[in-house]
Structure 1
């Protein structure tokens, strides 16, 4: 058995402190719990990349259970509470010939695991409009995005502080130590794609300021010990043209440089390196990435166009533990417009144009039905040879939430994507999703 982490012990201590106080009505009254059910069929056709025994396809089907509990806060100047999540996945199909790696279902050494589960606890403390959380976290921040694109979500362990003490300003800071992948039950240290050595410190801080109700500006800074330091600037603005008609502008800029061991030859040789093209094939992180996206909305229609430019020093990086020994730790989100089903268009030198059309059928009297299609084309990708490479991806999504009757609230989803790349195998993928959230109290 693994020794409990210091963070988890502290989280349990916070829970004990909360329970030890007088039971305040808000602690009970403001508590709620739900059970989220997700049934996912995942099919990938790798076409020209045979895997073990010539296998070139993955076809897996599993059921996920996500029990979430959120407490209120105890009485007093300092309010204490605790959140908890229990996650379990059950294989329905994914036997020999259908399972490949840990794309969705963990590999137990002989094939797809029959079931996998984990528990997360989070202690929390509130003072006025400031809240501290310690334990299991699922951050959605420009410098770190917890991925929820498979059966079970990716989680992190650490501490996060969020303050809304000043009107229109949200301050965020934190420190993370471990991650648990989407297809894993084991926590690991932290790394980037290509890194084989673990870091156990990711610190971050940032501010979101609403200049007006339609204008948001953001600044964040983060450091992954022995890998990189990253700064982010963002701007979001919505301009209303008329009733039901608007133009939204979203601008993003990242500046990422090597830090600690990644900045030295010996550190990179020891495993603190990034994959992909880098200057002199050194594995050193050195990247500037900027992007712009504009969305015109009219009634149920939304037409989007955008552009992204990745500098040629290295790939754009954020946390991804996929190169560590626990292959189930692979996969992570990137705060990029181009982070899609099959690739992220984040390679060194890559220039990406993209366009999307989305429609909400509520405008036609069919609430709950939505569809979207996006096409992305990247070129100028740097390689160790003189030739620059290119790639494209097309994604389609269709979602419907049943509005009434016996199955009210059941969500049905279909995801379809195709990737053609000169640097990665051609791939077609389909995902079928049935989801439902049951409120327990």
Structure 2
């Protein structure tokens, strides 16, 4: 009830700011976009085809971001609004696909969600309260399906120190990509994907520093109260190799342990990953290595929240106890052949030596083939198409294949 009251207050304040602002920058610097996404997903599970899932849906999102109104003393305020809605065009109603809400019998024909954010800024320090779309090593929003997975809370970010970004945050809820309201945080622990024991919020602190144009480093800490705490340290290095080649590399380390009342039991996991990509003209080649240490698998939040800061991440997450994995990437930009806006990527990841359900030396591998095209010019400029094929094989569970097709278009007012 308290959360619903808070959201009503934030939405009311957002509307009030939009109608009473006299500062021209509030309106003139605003950005309003209408986003369309047609999304198809089909997952085929080899050994249990009766558990296949998938759907075809159409999504519409209104994304409105205001400029800032000066209220004196160097303080500026503004408000953002995000309205999302999806319609089912076709679906396998028997099984949930975690794209559309499912009531145990069938997926809903349509659903929507509304989020509002109040923001205040002093110099290069900004506070956001309400709906959040974070991108950080310890928490990221998820745009991978139809509607977004977002979070609620407060996010304070400061860039007042040269070449340094400081972050403090408190998260009190998650609105999963297949849900229409904010709920308490849980741990992803199948078969409880999002409905296990709940945390009393998540506390976050982080610092990112850029030493020079080539070298940067980060440290982040997160505590999902009574579930797990997480330390992250990472370094990234970018440079040019000759006249045409570019190197982008990183090394990342996570240390995960249980927190407070240990609602999901003891957690002991450390994850080390390193990756590098070299771009030369139309070609991009990448290599990544990842290894899990400790007595537990890598913990993530309930609701299928991803962890893309792990170098090897996919349908097969490569995060089991003791698991080691290697990833290879190749990408090609067809612009050099005259097909501007067209690119293709192939990713192969192989995991080995994992311990799953008490069984050791379990292997898995995954192949991703991705084709992207964006109309580069003309009246349909920005219209995007993506086709994705996933083939994942496991020693410890059924193999699967997945097909995704997305068409996107953004209209800017």
TM bin, normalised by shorter chain, reads over 0.9
1:393 to 351, 357, 366: 366
Spell out, residue by residue over 1:405-436, the C-alpha distance to the aligned partner (whole angstroms, 9 max, x if none): 34222101101000101223210000011100
Instruction: Tell me the CA shift for residue 58 of structure 1.
Output: 2.4
Q: 1:384 to 1:22 in 2, by over 3 A?
A: closer
Matching residue of 1:298 = 280
State the TM-score, normalizing by the size of structure 2: 0.94
RMSD: 1.8
Structural mapping, 1:17-416, within 5 Å? 18=17, 23-50=22-49, 55-75=50-70, 76=72, 77-96=74-93, 99-194=94-189, 196-262=196-262, 272-273=263-264, 283-319=265-301, 321=302, 330-334=303-307, 335-340=309-314, 342-385=315-358, 387-416=360-389
Aligned counterparts of 1:439 and 1:59: Cα–Cα separation in 2: 31
Q: 1:10 to 1:41 in 2, by over 3 A?
A: same
Question: Which deviates further from its counterpart, 392-401 or 182-191?
Answer: 182-191
State the TM-score, normalizing by the size of structure 1: 0.88
Aligned counterparts of 1:32 and 1:246: Cα–Cα separation in 2: 33
Aligned counterparts of 2:33 and 2:21: Cα–Cα separation in 1: 25
Structure 1, unaligned runs of 5 or more: 263-271, 274-282, 322-329
Instruction: Tell me the CA shift for residue 43 of structure 1.
Output: 0.7
Alpha-carbon contact 1:179-1:187 (below 8 Å) kept: yes
Q: 1:160 to 1:423 in 2, by over 3 A?
A: same
Structure 2, unaligned runs of 5 or more: none
Instruction: Tell me the CA shift for residue 318 of structure 1.
Output: 2.6
Alpha-carbon contact 2:28-2:67 (below 8 Å) kept: yes
Alpha-carbon contact 2:54-2:97 (below 8 Å) kept: no
Instruction: Tell me the CA shift for residue 15 of structure 1.
Output: 3.3
Alpha-carbon contact 2:200-2:226 (below 8 Å) kept: no
Spell out, residue by residue over 1:131-186, the C-alpha distance to the aligned partner (whole angstroms, 9 max, x if none): 00000011110001111110011011100001111111111110000101111113
Instruction: Tell me the CA shift for residue 247 of structure 1.
Output: 1.9
Q: 1:175 to 1:288 in 2, by over 3 A?
A: same
Determine helix, strand or coil for the equivalent of 2:14.
helix
Aligned counterparts of 1:192 and 1:412: Cα–Cα separation in 2: 33
Aligned counterparts of 1:28 and 1:22: Cα–Cα separation in 2: 8
Matching residue of 1:269 = none
Instruction: Tell me the CA shift for residue 388 of structure 1.
Output: 2.0
Instruction: Tell me the CA shift for residue 242 of structure 1.
Output: 1.6
Aligned counterparts of 2:286 and 2:279: Cα–Cα separation in 1: 9
Determine helix, strand or coil for the equivalent of 2:261.
helix
Spell out, residue by residue over 1:62-113, the C-alpha distance to the aligned partner (whole angstroms, 9 max, x if none): 00111100001112311111000000010001155xx521431211343010
Aligned length, in residue pairs: 405
Aligned counterparts of 2:369 and 2:163: Cα–Cα separation in 1: 36
Alpha-carbon contact 2:77-2:120 (below 8 Å) kept: yes
Instruction: Tell me the CA shift for residue 382 of structure 1.
Output: 1.3
Aligned counterparts of 1:300 and 1:399: Cα–Cα separation in 2: 14
